[in-house]
Amino acid sequence: MKIEDISQQRVLIYDPERCTGCKCCEMACANRNFGTLELDKSHIRIFVDPKNFDREAINCLHCANPVCLNACPVDAISKDDETGWVTLNQMKCIGCCSCTYACPLMAAWFEEDRRAANKCNFCDGSPNCARFCSPQAIRVGTRAEAMELAKRLYLGGK
């Protein structure tokens, strides 16, 4: 079943006002995808400014028109029309890093161990980062909800 209205596709929503900076989301992601608690293996990154405690997350937004997909010369990145999830097939990846350079959020990253790019796979519909974020700073919602939050946070509610 294809979701005709992409505003209803499910995406990760990050609210910095709710984030405590605990990094449980990073550990949950690394554990799910790599079986480790090493934060550098996480597909999501939380940055906390120690001066004023501002928090920001870098994570794949599974863009409506992903530039990483268009940058990949070997079609290792695909977008599911139904879910909207953008996935990367490491078996096809040649390690050129075009996707990592193209992504404006730097959400795709080069994994040295596998010599291939890597990025969020939405944990097959149940993202661990959101499941283990107790203050719900990261949660699953619709693209429409994500846009409303972005407008409120970055455009002053306009």
CATH code, domain with 74:
3.30.70.20
1 in a structural domain = no
Q: Please identify which residue in the block is written with the tokens 């900076």.
A: 21
Six-digit token string for 68:
């990483």
Spatial CA neighbour of 79 closest among 19, 21, 122: 122
Residue 154 · residue 16 · CB < 8 Å: no
Does residue 1 register a pLDDT over 50? Answer: no
Mean pLDDT of the chain: 91
pLDDT of residue 3: 54
Query: What integer is the mean pLDDT of 129-145?
Result: 95
Beta strands 109-111; 116-118: pairing state? antiparallel
Which range of residues forms the domain containing residue 140? 6-154
Task: Count the domains in the chain.
Answer: 1
Residue written as token pair 């959400």:
107
Its pTM stands at 0.87
Q: How confident is the model at residue 154 (pLDDT cuts 50, 70, 90)?
A: confident
Closest CA to 89 of 113, 65, 112, 72: 72
